[in-house]
Amino acid sequence: MKRIKIAEVLNSSQVGDKIIVKGWVRAFRSNRFIQINDGSTINNIQAVVDFESFDEAVLKKITTGASVGLTGTLVESQGAGQSIELQVSEIEIIGEANPDDVQKTVMQPKKHSLEFLREQAHLRFRTNVFGAVFRIRHGVSFAIHKFFNDKGFYYLHTPIITGSDAEGAGEMFRVSTLDPKNPPLNEDGTVDFSEDFFGKQVNLTVSGQLEAELGALALGQVYTFGPTFRAENSNTSRHLAEFWMIEPEVAFNDIVDNMDLAEEMLKYICNYIMDHFADDLKFLSEREAAEQSSKPVNERAEMTLIERLTFVTQNDFKRITYTEAIEILVNSNHYKKKKFKYDVNWGTDLQSEHERYLVEKEFKRPVIITDYPASFKAFYMRQNDNCEAGKQTVAAMDILFPGIGEMIGGSQREERLDVLKQKLVDFNIHEEELSWYLETRKFGTVPHAGFGLGFERMVMFVTGMSNIRDVIPFPRTPKNAEF
Ligand code: 4AD
Ligand code: MG
């Protein structure tokens, strides 16, 4: 007999079927009822043992955390909570778990804080919360690939080791095989990277965009989906030093096409998860609701997780320009009552308190802000024509989500060689460094646009988890690279 997964048993097996299931014991009550889970679903199967038919020595090994194989027949359940259960005829103990050791871990069946669970990232997969989160993480990833594949995009693998700083923020991890104690030096005392593995200074990538643009300008529409690294010292609930990013890039698209694509993708992901991960979502939604009920009424979320996802799929995102955003903020009571910590000025970047105000108080839905000042956006963004003197803007777009802040950053790209060259001068970037990028503007250049979705931020929104460390299996943050 072949083992079947618990998800399949609960979905399609019938009373009378003889089956084998294998999994880990979640609980063993009254020497009679075993709850086991195999990761295929958040739901356990209940197995019933007639303790007189088994050796006491075997029964003793059925403890929380142990792995077992159970053979038996499906019967109608007498108890509440499940419609079928497994009447066990054979027990195989596959791997034991010492109860004293289990006591010290997240497997001990009681409520643990997410912080405690984070310390045991190697074991937290065994909990209901993280089982649900990581099944959904897979689902979001799969939905993204399906979305782009169905639209005829090509998945492009861009390099992880690179010499260029696409975002120009200089927050990169260096990759080197030089001896840190005794590196070769130039005459002026600086490190001689020509002796290094690649013969030059290289880093872990902060974005695959520039390479994706080269692909898009031949293949038409491509997307990347890979790890991204940022050495920014941000210890927040929304930043990781290693995160995953999805970057579509489309030839002939302008900024409006770009917004349409992003909005469609985000809605698609929410729908996909509601359609395919209903059990996990229900669990996370109820868990969040229970947590909310312990908060003061005015701090509670207005909608449940499932309501928020439904809301996103059914409502248009609000689209405003940066200039309009500044006007709304300056005219708000919040501003007049001096409730913002940071001032609001045309020409400075919005702080997260401003973004949250727009999304959570003013519009109560995802907001797309476009046409930011050129001064604080990356060099590759397309300069808008006909700007007021001293107020040069670029065709940028940021998509802001309630509870998350920036979910997507993107833009139409500067396709005009002369304008792009001037931007490099303005940004103090040497032309030689990006000569390969500039080449695309010489041979049949076209308008094109793309964006970057922070994968973990999307998983946060879809699972309702409030800390980004809880949606990636092994988080990397400043001073933390355990496991
Ligand atoms: O806005 P960013 O920096 O945009 C880019 O990198 C562009 N090259 C994208 C493009 O146009 N192709 O980053 C994109 C998204 C952000 O909106 C955010 O969701 C996420 O990546 N992100 C992070 N997520 C987790 N931890 C961090 N440290 C992040 N930094 C950015
Ligand atoms: Mg950004």
Q: Which position has the token pair 């990761």?
A: 39
β-pair type (221-229, 242-251)? antiparallel
SS3 89: strand
Measure the CA–CA gap between 91 and 55, rounded to whole angstroms: 10
pLDDT tens digits along 374-424:
999 999 999 999 899 999 999 999 999 999 999 999 999 999 999 999 999
Alpha carbon distances (Å) from 142 to 135, 137, 401: 11, 9, 21
Measure the CA–CA gap between 378 and 459, rounded to whole angstroms: 26
pLDDT tens digits along 240-295:
999 999 999 999 999 999 999 999 999 999 999 999 999 999 999 999 999 888 88
Query: Would you state the pLDDT for residue 110?
Result: 86
pLDDT band at 125 (very low <50, low <70, confident <90, very high): very high
Query: Would you state the pLDDT for residue 78?
Result: 83
pLDDT band at 326 (very low <50, low <70, confident <90, very high): very high
Minimum mean pLDDT among 293-302, 311-320, 333-342, 364-373: which range? 293-302
Query: Would you state the pLDDT for residue 30?
Result: 86
- Whether 124 shows a pLDDT value over 90: the answer reads yes
Q: How many angstroms separate the most distant Cα atoms in the chain? A: 89
- In 347-404, DSSP assigns E strands to 367-373, 393-401
**CB-based burial, 4-42: b 16+ in 10 Å, e otherwise:** bbbbebbeebeeeeebebbbbbbebeeeeebbbbbebbb
pLDDT band at 193 (very low <50, low <70, confident <90, very high): very high
Structure tokens at 189: 């005392």
Measure the CA–CA gap between 219 and 211, rounded to whole angstroms: 12
Query: Would you state the pLDDT for residue 221?
Result: 98
Cβ–ligand 1 contact at 410 (below 6 Å): yes
Strand partners, 225: 246
Give the mean pLDDT of 2-27.
94
Query: Would you state the pLDDT for residue 458?
Result: 98
Measure the CA–CA gap between 241 and 456, rounded to whole angstroms: 12
Query: Would you state the pLDDT for residue 296?
Result: 87
pLDDT band at 109 (very low <50, low <70, confident <90, very high): confident
Q: Which of 240, 259, 406 to mutate to test the pocket of ligand 1 (most atoms within 8 A of CB)?
A: 406
CA of 398 to the centre of ligand 1 (A): 10
Query: Would you state the pLDDT for residue 79?
Result: 80
Cβ–ligand 1 contact at 454 (below 6 Å): yes
Structure tokens at 138: 């897979």
pLDDT tens digits along 418-474:
999 999 999 999 999 899 999 999 999 999 999 999 999 999 999 999 999 999 999
Structure tokens at 375: 């001064």
SS3 63: coil
Question: Residues with Cβ < 8 Å from 239, sequence gap 6 or more?
Answer: 230, 232, 468, 477
Cβ–ligand 1 contact at 407 (below 6 Å): yes
CB 275 within 8 A of CB 442: no
Query: Would you state the pLDDT for residue 213?
Result: 98
Q: Which of 230, 238, 245, 376 to mutate to test the pocket of ligand 1 (most atoms within 8 A of CB)?
A: 245
pLDDT tens digits along 336-354:
999 999 999 999 999 999 9
Q: What is the pTM of this model?
A: 0.96
Taking only Cα atoms into account, the Rg of the chain, rounded to an integer number of angstroms, comes to 27
CA of 162 to the centre of ligand 2 (A): 20
Residue type, 96: E
Average pLDDT, the chain: 95
Structure tokens at 100: 């004293």
- Whether 87 shows a pLDDT value over 90: the answer reads yes
CB 412 within 8 A of CB 254: yes
CB 42 within 8 A of CB 283: yes
Cβ–ligand 1 contact at 366 (below 6 Å): no
Residue 239: alpha-carbon gap to chain centroid: 11
CA of 409 to the centre of ligand 2 (A): 4
Listed residue (265, 307, 305) closest to 289, CA to CA:
305
CB 468 within 8 A of CB 407: no
Strand partners, 330: none
Q: Which position has the token pair 């596959």?
A: 94
Structure tokens at 247: 């970057």
